[in-house]
Amino acid sequence: MGGGMALNLLARGWHVQIHDIDREKVDALAAHGAIVCTGAASAAANVPITIICVVDALQCEAVLWGEGGVQARPGGLAGHTVMLCPTIAPADVERFAARLTQAGADTIDAPMSGGPQRAANGTMSLMVACADAVRASHSALIYTLSNRVFHLGERPGDGARMKLVNNLLAGINLVGAAEALAMAQRMGMDLGTVLDVIEQSSGQSWVGSDRMRRAIVDDYAPRAHATLLRKDTALAVQAARDAGFEGPLGAAASDVFARALERGWAHLDDAVIFRLLSEPPSARFPADAG
């Protein structure tokens, strides 16, 4: 999604400096006018804000404080702003924000949702938590990135909390859709027709339709790797427990994604859980068989 965000900004005339460990992604953005930098520190130089789009908190910490990280920005971090877009634990957002504050920088807690295409056309959801003055000073950028901006207050971590609530529901919905389609398959029904009916009825969910349309034609080319919802649902379940809440579905859904990873499908699209749930229980849950 970071690549999509960069494309959106470039298309709208923004100056964009980029750094990524994937050279192919860097070259693709350079072809659209992005300035390629040798590291995170140089990418953060001479610009008012750095947007971080990585997978997890460890990568985020490396980008910020690792060798050549944003902390080594020429002139220091005072007066700079960091926008954190990964799906990470609220406690990690709070920790990063506190450390950035000590260095004189501002933090925008801004997880995103919607996928690369919506990031590229500016229609993704952006869940923003930061000081009102910081949000106001970067409002042009925020509304260029997204026409679906949700303000969640000034407390760092509330953007992360909102994203985990959303992604837990997305994971539950996806597992539910895969289970329903696997059931229909076992009953000998035409799955395309089943989805047609569901999409016009009470069982419809966006993530279910999006993923199951691919799954029923055995298309598991990764748009969203199975590892991501496993990570996000696990983070959400832990955040719920930290808040003193435990529900019946979140941990169960997270376990389904974990089993898909155990099968060696981490590199496939998360729609692959349909393949998992289509198998007999002895193959799906080998540790529980017999």
21 contacts: CB under 8 Å, gap ≥ 6: none
Domain CATH for 101: 3.40.50.720
Regarding whether 85 and 139 lie in a shared domain, the answer is yes
Regarding whether 59 and 177 lie in a shared domain, the answer is no
Distance of CA 271 to the CA centre of its chain: 16
> Where is 185: in which H helix or E strand?
helix 158-186
For tokens 């997978």, what's the residue?
55
State the average pLDDT over residues 34-42.
96
Task: Report the distance separating Cα 25 and Cα 6, nearest Å.
Answer: 11
Instruction: Name the pLDDT band for 81 (thresholds 50, 70, 90).
Output: very high
58-77 pLDDT tens trace: 999 999 999 999 999 999 99
Contact between residue 250 and residue 263 where contact means Cβ atoms under 8 Å apart: no
CA 144-78-40 angle, to 5 degrees, is 60
DSSP state, 5? H
- Compute the Cα dihedral for 268, 273, 278, 279 and give only its sign: positive
pLDDT at 128: 98
> What are the C-alpha distances in Å from 7 to residues 17, 63, 125, 228?
12, 21, 16, 22
State the average pLDDT over residues 21-45.
95
Q: Is 223 exposed, middle or buried (0-12, 13-18, 19+ CB in 10 A)?
A: middle
Domain-ending residue, one of 155, 176, 193 = 155
Task: Report the distance separating Cα 146 and Cα 286, nearest Å.
Answer: 44
Regarding whether 118 and 10 lie in a shared domain, the answer is yes
Domain CATH for 211: 1.10.1040.10
The domain total for the chain is 2
Regarding whether 48 and 137 lie in a shared domain, the answer is yes
Reported in sequence order, the residue ranges of 152-214 that DSSP labels E, i.e. its strands, are none
pLDDT at 115: 86
Regarding whether 11 and 129 lie in a shared domain, the answer is yes
Regarding whether 192 and 115 lie in a shared domain, the answer is no
Instruction: Name the pLDDT band for 286 (thresholds 50, 70, 90).
Output: low
Domain that holds residue 69: 2-155
Q: What is the mean pLDDT of the chain?
A: 95
pLDDT at 290: 39
DSSP conformation letters of 56-74? SHHHHHHHHHSTT-GGG-T
Contact between residue 98 and residue 64 where contact means Cβ atoms under 8 Å apart: no
147-203 pLDDT tens trace: 999 999 999 999 999 999 999 999 999 999 999 999 999 999 999 999 999 999 999
% of the chain residues with pLDDT over 90: 94
Regarding whether 257 and 212 lie in a shared domain, the answer is yes
Cα pseudo-dihedral 151, 205, 89, 111, rounded to 10: -40
Regarding whether 68 and 146 lie in a shared domain, the answer is yes
Regarding whether 141 and 8 lie in a shared domain, the answer is yes
State residue 80 phi and psi, 5-degree precision.
-90, 160
> What are the C-alpha distances in Å from 215 to residues 10, 166, 184, 195, 252?
34, 22, 13, 11, 21
State the average pLDDT over residues 82-89.
97
Task: Please choose, from the candidates 250, 21, 10, the residue with its C-alpha nearest in 3D space to the C-alpha of residue 122.
Answer: 10
DSSP state, 116? H
Distance of CA 241 to the CA centre of its chain: 21
